[in-house]
Amino acid sequence: MSRVSHPMRISPSFPLLNPQAVHVWFCELVHYTGRQDSLAAQLSDDERVRAARFAFERDRQRFILSHGVLRLLLSRYTQMDAGEIQFVTGEHGKPAVSGPSGAAAGIQFSLSHSGAYALVAVAHGRDVGVDIEVPKADLECLKLAERFFAPAESQAIAKVHGEEQQRLFYRLWTAKEAYLKGRGVGLSLGLDRFAIVFDEPSSGARVRLTDSRTFDQTWQIQSLSLPDHLAGAVAVEGGGCELHRYETTAFIRD
């Protein structure tokens, strides 16, 4: 049994995940600060140890809130108690819900957090990756792109300036991170080993592998339009998926 039953209300109209669907959850962590203790009570020993390692209270709080909300979301998809969910990590650190049988089977997720925001993507029977970034106005976008991105990407960034340059940089960055996170390879696959090619004017994108100059047909990328100038993207394995966007506050509240 879990240590405590979670006291937050999850709406009975919580969306059902059909096999074609990918759910992307946007979470403003500030809405859950008053629930930090009850969310912390759902965390595993491992998550508590990780939370305790943060030097700053604000970072500790954001870790607890994002992992607590992740557990609440996954509890609905897996029909498990939030505090009962266990994770396993892949070779490069990608977490997955453990448990070979029951409703947990087939549920895949990805978590990203930046500043006071978190994004969670959930799918059934296919890998997903998600990334959110709070843009930094003073970031040296072009220098970073020239150093880390594929040449085609840094050349595209060099052609634009000011806010447009910053927007393109973060659009590429989040798309690249979402792809890496979907595949679960992290930075072991260099950021210059593949280039994001946007399918303008849609918000979709594909991945061109630098070495073979072929497209990775397995993955679809979608840039997300988020509030507060946030940048975000989701990468989905396989074709023909329906993307559904939700805000956690519509379904998880006091």
Nearer to ligand COA, 78 or 112 (CB): 112
Burial classification of residue 38, based on how many CB atoms lie within 10 Å of its CB (0-12 exposed, 13-18 middle, 19 or more buried)? middle
Nearer to ligand COA, 63 or 219 (CB): 63
By CB under 6 A, residue 148 contacts ligand COA: yes
Q: What are phi and psi of 15, to 5 degrees?
A: -70, 145
By CB under 6 A, residue 131 contacts ligand COA: yes
- Strand 219-225 relative to strand 117-124, pairing: unpaired
What is the C-alpha separation between 155 and 169, in angstroms, rounded? Answer: 11
Which of 177, 220, 223, 232 binds ligand COA (CB under 6 A)? It is 177
Which of 168, 180, 205, 252 binds ligand COA (CB under 6 A)? It is 180
Q: In what order do the strands lie in the sheet with 204-209?
A: 128-133, 231-237, 219-225, 204-209, 194-198
Nearer to ligand COA, 12 or 47 (CB): 47
Query: What is the total count of residues that contact ligand COA (CB under 6 A)?
Result: 19
By CB under 6 A, residue 173 contacts ligand COA: yes
By CB under 6 A, residue 219 contacts ligand COA: no
CA dihedral 114, 10, 181, 233 (to 10 degrees): -60
Report the interface residues with ligand COA, using CB under 6 A: 63, 92-95, 110-113, 131, 144, 148, 173, 177, 180-181, 184, 186-187
